[in-house]
Amino acid sequence: MAVSKQFRMGRLDHVHIRVPDRAEAAEWYAEHLGFEPVERFDFWAKGFDGGPLQISADGGATTLALFETSEGHPMVRQETGVAFSVDADAFMDFARSLPGELRRPDGEALQPADLVDFDLCWAYDLCDPWGNQYELNCYDYDRIARELIEADGITPTRYWPREVFDTYER
């Protein structure tokens, strides 16, 4: 059966994340990234073996479903990355809290200068202790440029030449 031409996929609901210990992972995500368990989904984590522990940093609108590894569900890292977006104040607070215990995907400590310039947004690439990769974005481009990049003397990384965006904008 073909999907209706009027059908549109909805918002991102959750992402499956594998970890060796759900409780340990939930504590790490709470301490470092502000995630909290979502009570209305708690029965999945407590009701049956292998169920996910749903955690969220936005009141449950978007969640990470922490699945504990087992013989039937081996550790498979989320290496393609999951991107989250925050406002400028939260992004600058995050940047200025570095370095801390957060790591880049290569395992090195995440630094303020690890900032990536994507022309429309700024981003940090990071990972949890189990190698699951994330991206933190902020789309208030001009404010971050002024109040973080220029103010703190950060030289961001670029993955492509600025001319690509400038040509697009014309």
43 compared with 170, residue with greater pLDDT: 43
For residue 2, the model assigns a pLDDT of: 64
| Three state DSSP letters for 30-45 | HHHHCCEECHHHHHHH
Nearest one of 50, 87, 86, 66 to 130, comparing CA atoms: 66
Predicted confidence (pLDDT) per residue in 25-74, tens digit: 999 999 999 999 999 998 888 877 788 999 999 999 999 999 999 888 88
pLDDT at 4: 66
CB 109 within 8 A of CB 126: no
Mean pLDDT calculated for residue range 13-34:
95
Nearest to 121 by CA among 87, 168, 154, 169: 87
Q: What is residue 18's predicted lDDT score, i.e. its pLDDT?
A: 95
Q: What does the pLDDT average to over 62-88? A: 91
Element housing 49 (H / E): none
Cα(51)–Cα(34) distance, integer angstroms: 22
Any idea which residue has 């409780």 for tokens?
23
Q: H helices within the chain, ranges in order?
A: 22-33, 42-47, 88-96, 141-144, 151-152, 162-169
7 vs 111, more confident: 111
DSSP conformation class of 3? P
* Distance from C-alpha of 113 to C-alpha of 135, rounded to nearest angstrom: 15
| Residue 138 parent element (H or E) | strand 133-138
Q: What percent of the chain is modeled with pLDDT above 90?
A: 71
What pLDDT score does 125 carry?
96
Q: How far apart are CA 125 and CA 136, in angstroms?
A: 7
Max Cα-Cα span within the chain: 56
List of domains in the chain: 14-68 (3.30.720), 82-169 (no CATH)
Read off the pLDDT of residues 117-144 as tens digits, 9 standing for 90 and up: 999 999 999 999 999 999 999 999 999 9
